[in-house]
Amino acid sequence: MKKFTALLLTAAITLTGMMSTVSVLAEDVQLPREETLYFGGQQWGTVNSYNPIGTNQNNAMATTPQLIGSRTLMFETLYMYNFLDGSLTPLLADGDFAWNDDLTEMTVKIKDAAKWSDGSDVTSADVIRTFDIGVEIANGVGTGYGPYIDSIEAVDDKTFVIKAAVTEDGVPVNPLKVNDFLSAVLIAQAGWIDAVCERNNNDPTAIMNDAAEDVVWSGPYTKYFDDDQKVVLIRDDNYWGQDASMWGKLPVPKYIAHTIYADNAATEVAFKAGEIDVDQQFLPNIQNTWLEEDLPISTYMEEAPYGVCLTMPTAWYNMNNPVLAENTALRKAIAIAVDYDTIIANAMTNQSPSFADVPRSLMNPTEGEQALYDHEAVADLQWAGNDIDGANALLDEAGLTDTDGDGWREYNGEKISLNAVCPNGWTDWMAAMEVVAAAGKNIGVEITTLFPEWDTVQTVFTNPNQTEYDIFMWSPDGAGPSMPWGRVRQFLDGDLAGIENNWTGNWGQYKNDRATEIVKQIPLTSDPEELKALYTEAIQIYLTEVPSFSLMYRPAVFHAVNESVWTNYPEEGDGRNIPPADCTDGYGIAALYDLELVG
Amino acid sequence: MKGYRKYFGKKIIWFLITLVVAVILNFVLPRLMPNDPVAAITGKMAQGVTDASASQRIYEKYQEEFGTNKPMIEQFFIFVGNLFKGDLGTSFSQYPRKVSDILASSLGWTIALQLPAIIVGWLLGNLLGALAAYIRKGFDKVLLPMALFMSNIPAFGMAVIMLVLFAVKWKIAPTSGGYAYDMIPNFSWDFVKSVIAHYQLPFWSIVLISIGGQAVGMRSMSIYELNADYVKYARFLGIKDRKIVGYVFRNAMLPQVTGLAMSIGTMIGGALVAEIIFSYPGLGSTMFTAISGGDYPLISATTLIITLMVLVLSFLLDIIYGFIDPRVKAAQLD
């Protein structure tokens, strides 16, 4: 009996201990289900700040600047990017921006109605200060746009001019990156930035790590609650965007909540249970959730591939390996021997168009990008895969034959033996690499798979002199105002070869002078025909030289919704042109204004 | 008393030596992993940065900040120096959060989950073992084999089975988290109820797998003691069964106490899996993310806590043993 009492006591003490770690903040202790939109797959750890100028923060819902459209729930960009058609819709900005003729100056206006949460106007000074502080403290804005923007100058309170950085010849370094600035950079208030600098004695690290408890925002939501298990934003009913010049109303959900789950599996369980409305994660065979499990789950498209694919995970050849660098035939043979249909059916469970549907190039499958090159001119160079005979013929022709009869081909008397690498636990990628290895076996080239942890993989392939990985898998960027140029650059820019800690692109260290020149020319070309010719030529080089080969198409963000509480999410062909960007990213946020309750 | 002093002195010296070795291992082992967490952070920060020299600058900045560009021996002395100041460093994976801050918010949940689970599992296991030895019949033939079967299910298996059965299929328990997904923590009866409801599955998944192991030990110890001479002698003397059983179990308990201390010491590692599967916000989940993110400071800190717990508890146990069983002290002094 004594023991039982002791046990009860222990339980009581620990429970009290647990309760005492819990803080009480908010008035509403139970979030009304019919006023709350739940998210999954975006926030993976306790949020560390609400600081819009701190690059180190992990607060996915409040501050995620990104090329495919920044998340504008709490802080806002000048324009909202729409990856469906590549358009930029004004948010803080008023109307279209205007370039001068030589692409060195861009004029942008700010909406009269745009206000901060403290009631003051959003002005040119805020945009200027956001850029300037970025350069001063070298945050993401400074390092990302400093090389392309020389300065931003105010014309008046609501008008400013972005002066592009120019080369010695007076041509702009890259006008496309200035376009990125418009839709990716979250604007912070100049007055608040001054206060943060002052309290941190202008120390860059301290400024970026500031928790920003007192932050001023311009977006429709603000912080409400966060702990180890969730983060909740609450609608700001004074949001300026209800002005007729913007949305004309408030977003529908009062609360935006994201539970922090341990992993994909836990997120999936919660999504199926209806505890998550909008889920940003890859769910294999997602169609089974409605076909077999009869759950009210849906995706942007009713049929495969279910979502909009924006990127293409790619196998990169390491040109530091002489066998690969010296044998274009070997690179091409492996690439045409791979059975892509198997990868797409198994690894992606058909959530990717096939290479027969969308022939390989440097473009993602969106209509906008597909229209940018001459399909006929490259048709002969494209391949759909599983061409074992063709691959064998290529290798035989190139003299890469099996001379000692062991079943494997040799080069300079040595067996060709390669490894194929991708991060451990990325199961769809691992499956893809196994298919690549199987293709090797079919053509007499030994390919063994290797799956280190993801940060090891990244550490190795960003080293320009690495010889550890022969074929490794990584994704180029998806969409954004500077795409597809940015992606072409990632695949072909010889200037990126040899750079230490290179996270930017060309991880295979491929060098081709003409390709590098094209990468430089594209941003300075505005004539559509000329642009098309350049892109076509780049694709021809890429498909002939095969410095890498894409394995599948893939969405940049996954977007699945459980319609047990909310409905009227964007769907293909609904005429609204809202991208399936989780109701939060870029123009995808427009979905929040259209949501309806079920029933 | 002199014997005790010598005994304790010796124990303390060994305790300190073990501690020093443990701290060194805690520091060195995670850093021998082949990954570069600074590169991982830079990779995150450099997304969308198209100027290659810019990402190089970001990398150097973080190297400088974390001191990973210094020689390992220098890093070690900085680490130990900070340890004395109670500063466990800054986390890589949750940068710029302080390690101590992360531990503080998760330690409470872990202790609240695991301590009662271990104690309940231990009590139930011992009770079952004792009953199996004394009453036999159904206990020995049915319950004990069942408990043994369950304790041989791997921890993640048990957690997944319970999750699928109770939460997904029958929907009588919540799927994950420490409290309801639609609640904000507060001091209300509803919230307490929600915490208790979320507590059940991880709690029982730990308890069920620990019963069997404890029961087996207790059963064999009890059978051994039940056949000991003093029991027979006591029976001849006509002492009541209940009284004898009391003596028997007290003697049989001795090794079981060691088991309890050990399992409390290793609780973070042991039930890590249950926490992860139920997204329970404890140290297990923290350690899991730390390891997969190559977060040295956080790994070092969590393993240091485990090491300290095991060391302190086994030290205390040695001391207590010295008192309750003089044979141990005598044996160790030889």
User: Does A302 map to a domain?
Assistant: no
Q: pLDDT tens digits, residue range A328-368? A: 999 999 999 999 999 999 888 899 999 999 999 999 998 88
Question: Computed from CA positions of residues A497, A499, A500, A505, in that sequence, does the dihedral angle turn out positive or negative?
Answer: negative
Instruction: Evaluate the CA torsion angle A81, A87, A91, A96 in order and state its sign.
Output: positive
DSSP-based three-state secondary structure for B174: coil
Euclidean distance between CA atoms A298 and A580, whole angstroms: 12
Q: What share of chain A is helix, strand, coil (3-state, %, to 5)?
A: 35, 20, 50
pLDDT in tens, B19-52: 889 888 888 888 887 667 777 777 666 665 666 6
Q: Which residues of B touch A180 (CB under 8 A)?
A: 48
Contacts of B60 (CB under 8 A, 6+ apart): B69
Cα separations (Å) of A15 from A8, A500, A582, A592, B195? 10, 52, 37, 39, 9
Q: Which residues in chain A land under pLDDT 50? A: 1-7, 9-10, 12-13, 15-26
Least confident of A168-177, A542-551, B175-184, B192-201: B175-184
Q: From CA A139, how far away is CA A514, in angstroms rounded? A: 33
Can you give the pLDDT at residue A26?
Answer: 43
- Report which DSSP code applies to B89: -
B129, B217 Cβ separation under 8 angstroms = yes
* CA distance to partner chain B, nearest, from residue A385 (Å): 31
Q: Is B74 exposed, middle or buried (0-12, 13-18, 19+ CB in 10 A)?
A: exposed
In a domain, A491, yes or no: yes
- DSSP string over A382-422: ---S--HHHHHHHHHHTT---SSSSSS-EETTEE-EEEEE-
The mean pLDDT of B112-138, rounded to a whole number, is 83
How many domains are contained in chain A? Answer: 1
Q: Write down the pLDDT at residue B334.
A: 54
Show residues of chain B in contact with A502, CB under 8 Å. 52, 55-56
CA dist A363 and A370 (Å) reads: 6
Residue A464 falls within a domain, yes or no?
A: yes
Residues sharing a CB contact under 8 Å with residue A274, sequence separation 6 or more, in sequence order: A296, A562, A564, A565
Query: Of A82, A64, A59, which Cα lies nearest the Cα of A140?
Result: A64
- Pick from A173, A189, A194, A65: which is nearest to A126 by CA? A189
Which of A108-112, A289-293, B92-96, B274-278 shows the lowest per-residue confidence on average (mean pLDDT)?
B92-96
- pTM for the model stands at 0.84
* A419 strand-pairing partners: A448
From edge to edge, which strands make up the β-sheet containing A548-550? A446-450, A417-421, A471-474, A314-317, A548-550
C-alpha distance from A110 to closest chain B C-alpha (Å): 25
Q: Are strands A278-279 and A297-299 parallel, antiparallel or unpaired?
A: unpaired
Q: How many residues does chain B have?
A: 334
ipTM: 0.77
Chain B residues in contact with A12 (beta carbon < 8 A): none
CB within 8 Å: B279 and A260: yes
Q: Strand (E) positions, B265-325?
A: none
Measure Cα distances from A32 to A38, A42, A102, A254, A270 in Å: 11, 22, 54, 9, 17
SS (H, E, C) A12-81: HHHHHHHHHCCCCCCCCCECCHHHEEEEECCCCCCCCCCCCCCCCCCCCCCCECCCCCCECCCCECCEEE
Q: Residue A209: which of B55, B96, B182 has the nearest Cβ?
A: B96
CA A232 to chain B, closest CA, distance in angstroms equals 9
CB A455 to CB B35 under 8 A?
yes
**Two tokens, residue A314:** 């790619």
Strand partners, A258: A39, A231
Q: In angstroms, what separates the C-alpha of A87 from chain B's closest C-alpha?
A: 19
What is the pLDDT at residue A508? Answer: 93
Q: Is B288 exposed, middle or buried (0-12, 13-18, 19+ CB in 10 A)?
A: middle
Q: Return the pLDDT at B282.
A: 82
Per-residue b or e along A473-482, where b marks 16 or more CB atoms closer than 10 Å to that residue's CB: bbbbbbbbbb
| Nearest residue of chain B to residue A33 (CA atoms) | B182
- What per-residue confidence (pLDDT) applies to A17? 45
**Residues B269/B111, Cβ–Cβ less than 8 Å:** no
Contacts of A538 (CB under 8 A, 6+ apart): A362, A488, A492, A515, A518, A519, A522
Pick from B58, B119, B281: CB nearest A143: B58
Phi/psi at A484 (nearest 5 deg)?
Answer: -85, 5
Residue whose pair of structure tokens reads 């004990």 in the numeric block: B144
Contacts of B196 (CB under 8 A, 6+ apart): none
Full 3-state SS string of A171-189: CECCHHHHHHHHHHCCECC
Look at residue A227 in the predicted model and tell me its pLDDT: 87
User: With helix as H, strand as E and coil as C, how does A574-594 read?
Assistant: CCCCCCCCCCCEHHHHHHHHC
Euclidean distance between CA atoms B195 and B180, whole angstroms: 7
Determine the pLDDT at residue A235: 96
Contacts of B61 in chain A (CB under 8 A): 138
Average pLDDT, chain B: 80
Can you give the pLDDT at residue B311?
81
Residue A32, CA atoms < 13 Å, CB-side half-sphere: 8
Q: Give the closest residue to B102 by CA, choosing from B309, B306, B301, B276.
A: B301
Question: What is the per-residue pLDDT for B313?
Answer: 76
Output the six-digit token pair for A330: 């070997």
Nearest CA in chain A to B184: A29
Greater confidence, B31 or B272? B31
* Least Cα separation, residue B9 to chain A (angstroms): 33
What pLDDT does B51 receive?
65
CATH number for the domain spanning A336: value is 3.10.105.10
- From chain B, pick out residues whose CB is under 8 angstroms from the CB of A311: none
Listed in sequence order, the residues at least 6 apart from A426 whose beta carbon sits closer than 8 Å to its beta carbon are: A454
More confident residue, A100 or B112: A100
Q: Contact B36/A184, CB-based, under 8 Å?
A: no
Domain-embedded: residue A575: no
Residues in chain A, total: 599
Which residues of chain A neighbour B95 with C-beta distances below 8 Å? 48, 56
- Between strands A255-259 and A36-40, the pairing is parallel
From the list B50, B104, B278, which residue is nearest A504 (CB)?
B50
Q: In whole angstroms, how far apart are CA B277 and each of A284, B173, B193, B202, B274?
A: 19, 14, 21, 9, 5
CA-based nearest residue in chain B for residue A495: B52
The predicted structure's pLDDT at residue B81: 86
Is A33–B182 a contact, with Cβ atoms under 8 angstroms apart? yes
Q: Quick check: A10 and B115 CB within 8 A?
A: yes
Determine the residue among B55, B184, B288, B296 to mutate to test chain A binding: the one whose Cβ has the most chain A Cβ atoms within 10 Å: B184
Residues of A with CB below 8 A from B163's CB?
Answer: 269
Q: What is the pLDDT of residue A439?
A: 94
| Burial zone of B331 (CB within 10 Å; 0-12 exposed, 13-18 middle, 19+ buried) | exposed
Angle at which helix B2-31 crosses helix B72-84, to 10 degrees, equals 130
CATH code of the domain made up of B106-292:
1.10.3720.10
